[in-house]
Amino acid sequence: MMDLLKDFKNPESMKGFAREIERLSRKYSLQANFMEVCGGHTHVIARYSLEQLLPPEIRFIHGPGCPVCILPKGRVDHAVILSERKDTIVVTVGDMIRVPGTEKSLEKARSEGRDIRTVYSPLEALEIAKSSTEKKVIYFAIGFETTTPSTALIIEKTIQSGLKNLFFYTNHVLVPPVLEAILSDSTHKIGGFIAPSHVSVITGSEVYRPLCEKHGLPVVVAGFESGDIMQAVYMLVKQLAEKRCELEVQYDRCVTENGNIKSQDLVSRYFVLEESFEWRGPGFIEKSSLRLRDEYDFLNAAVVFREYLPEIHTDDHRLCLCSEILKGKKRPADCRVFRTRCTPDNPLGACMVSGEGACAAYYKYGRTG
Amino acid sequence: MCLAVPFKILSIAEDGKNAVAECMGVKKEISLELMDSEVSPGDYILIHVGLAIRKINTDAAERTLKDHRQMAEIYRQMNS
């Protein structure tokens, strides 16, 4: 009987892939940096020391796929401001509560008596709103394409149920535009992409075709387990050895060409492309996020509470190298504040904010960079 | 954040919107409302934040595992 978790991280398979990667890279004198886009992949790479299995000429570049890390401080500040209104409950997911704003995190605001709740599933926000009708409940939504359908679903349920006290402050970002932005810097060092697992379940693999065709870079959509990532690296190296540049799917047990159409339709019913969104690290990127459609302004916390939410812009620390790390030009150990002044308890830059950021993953698993 | 975990469906509610599913001995009630294909008890589904987002293609999973076993064999042979 197949075990869909354990069987894909067999140490002997991973070492077998590593041997083949080394054999091909030596035989064809290959040297390449592959960007794993997803923060979940970054975490697995650090946790299982996958880079140590690879020959030195094949390296990982840790990409921008951690939605907690890339959220600018001003957005956290908005969540804090909303929580400080006396009639509100702010609901958010996991790691978000720890992320420092300009002055404080949501965790700190909660310790000061604000009603801030973390949930495992966004659907819980509906229950909170139903049981707290005297309060305004604000769901602080973050995430890439994987998570946006769940927000769209609770928006639909809010409308259907006639709930009047649930609002949405959304920060839903998109993978392809940030990759385009990174590649627009002609000095980038990326030689191929390990594309995300679960973003691709929703979007389908075809969204990455321009990376191959326009930028001439091989792309392999990889599963979430360590063995999946090693196989994806092997597939990329094999493409380079055979002088191919193709879009391939290693994670075909879950990813199709066109993705989950029902989820895509649900998202486009409620969301539309935002003109520009500020990413912590890469900065402003055009058409790289979604916002609620105008007809749903009555649910949009950024509109309903507009008068309390000033525009806030806070730069990362001047010594922080996150934007260079996200382009693959620098590694965490190149940064003067890594491990010294910048730690998971006091992150100075985006990559240290959550366990899915490159610096935080290196810090946690003792990688020197 | 984009973590998703494979669960096995144990039962499906009458309205088809929810299911009880299990992973490593943990049973959870999950929503099927984002699913774009029919599922039945015994199927494996991928769960993200409490919602099923994809039925897992076990034939494809088996093919991938075959590649992995082949690599394990290469490793064992080189070390024997």
ipTM summary value: 0.96
Show the tokens assigned to A285.
Answer: 């990127």
* pLDDT the model gives residue B67: 96
Q: Is A222 helix (H, G, I), strand (E, B) or coil?
A: coil
Nearest to A137 by CA among A189, A193, A87, A191: A87
Decide if A142 touches B, using CB distance below 8 A.
yes
Decide if A118 touches B, using CB distance below 8 A.
no
Decide if A355 touches B, using CB distance below 8 A.
no
Residue A316 has pLDDT above 80, yes or no: no
Nearest by CB to B48, from A12, A66, A198: name it: A198
- Provide the whole-model pTM: 0.95
d(CA A323, CA A76): 19
Stretch A5-31: mean pLDDT, rounded?
A: 96
Residues A126, A157: contact at Cβ < 8 Å? yes
* Regions of chain B where pLDDT drops below 70: none
Stretch A302-313: mean pLDDT, rounded?
A: 95
- The verdict on a CB contact (< 8 Å) between A196 and B49 is no
* pLDDT the model gives residue A350: 79
Residues A325, A332: contact at Cβ < 8 Å? yes
Stretch A260-283: mean pLDDT, rounded?
A: 95
**Chain A residues whose beta carbon lies within 8 Å of the beta carbon of residue B60:** 252-253
Q: Is A303 helix (H, G, I), strand (E, B) or coil?
A: helix
Residue A366 has pLDDT above 90, yes or no: no
- In angstroms, the separation between the Cα of residue B63 and the nearest Cα of chain A is 9
Decide if B72 touches A, using CB distance below 8 A.
yes
* pLDDT the model gives residue A342: 92
- The verdict on a CB contact (< 8 Å) between B53 and A144 is no
Nearest by CB to A120, from B35, B50, B72: name it: B50
What is the number of helices (H) and of strands (E) in chain B? 1, 5
Residue A369 has pLDDT above 70, yes or no: no
Show the domains of chain A with their CATH numbers: 73-174+259-308 (3.40.50.11740)
pLDDT averaged over chain A?
Answer: 93
- Report the relative pairing of strands A289-292 and A271-273 from DSSP bridges: antiparallel
- In angstroms, the separation between the Cα of residue B33 and the nearest Cα of chain A is 8
Decide if B74 touches A, using CB distance below 8 A.
yes
A151-186 pLDDT tens trace: 999 999 999 999 999 999 999 999 999 999 999 988
Can you say whether the dihedral through the CA atoms of A316, A142, A255, A266 is positive or negative? Answer: negative
Residue A243 has pLDDT above 70, yes or no: yes
Nearest by CB to A120, from B49, B60, B70: name it: B49
Residue A368 has pLDDT above 70, yes or no: no
A56-114 pLDDT tens trace: 999 999 998 889 888 888 999 999 999 999 899 999 987 788 888 888 999 999 999 99
Burial label for A33, CB within 10 Å (0-12, 13-18, 19+), is middle
Decide if B26 touches A, using CB distance below 8 A.
no
- In angstroms, the separation between the Cα of residue A6 and the nearest Cα of chain B is 11
* pLDDT the model gives residue B50: 93
**Chain A residues whose beta carbon lies within 8 Å of the beta carbon of residue B6:** 4-5
The CATH label, of 2.30.30.140, 2.40.30.30, 3.40.980.10, 3.30.420.40, for the domain at B5-78 is: 2.30.30.140
A-B contacts at Cβ under 8 angstroms: 148
Q: Which of A1, A2, A3, A4 to mutate to test the interface with B (most CBs of B within 10 A)?
A: A4
Q: Is A310 helix (H, G, I), strand (E, B) or coil?
A: coil
Residue A1 has pLDDT above 80, yes or no: no
The b/e string for A119-137 (b: 16+ C-beta within 10 A; e otherwise) is bebbbbbbebbeebeebbb
Stretch A267-275: mean pLDDT, rounded?
A: 98
Stretch A273-277: mean pLDDT, rounded?
A: 97
**Chain A residues whose beta carbon lies within 8 Å of the beta carbon of residue B48:** 146-147, 150, 198
Taking CA–CA distances from A355, the nearest residue in chain B reads B1
